[in-house]
């Protein structure tokens, strides 16, 4: 079980983060999408050649 004081502190921190807005890292998201597109292209090329 999680102690009540820890839950109270964690909920307070979570509420503060929510009030400030969600942290968004668009650069990281773009990099991840580009990696997926690159991998999809590699798989497509591999399938077409074989």
What's the confidence (pLDDT) of residue 26?
A: 87
| Degrees to nearest 5, angle at CA 30 with 32 and 49 | 55
Residue 45: both structure tokens together:
């090329």
pLDDT, tens digit, 9 for 90 and up, residues 7-49: 999 999 999 988 888 767 889 999 999 999 999 999 999 999 9
What's the confidence (pLDDT) of residue 22?
A: 73
Return the residue matching tokens 């839950």.
Answer: 7
Higher-pLDDT residue of 6, 21: 6
What's the confidence (pLDDT) of residue 12?
A: 96
């Amino acid at each position: 079980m999680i102690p009540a004081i820890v839950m109270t502190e964690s909920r307070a921190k979570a509420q503060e983060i929510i009030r400030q807005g969600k942290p968004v890292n668009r650069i990281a998201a773009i990099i991840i999408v580009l990696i997926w597109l690159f991998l999809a292209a590699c798989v497509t090329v591999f399938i077409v050649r074989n």
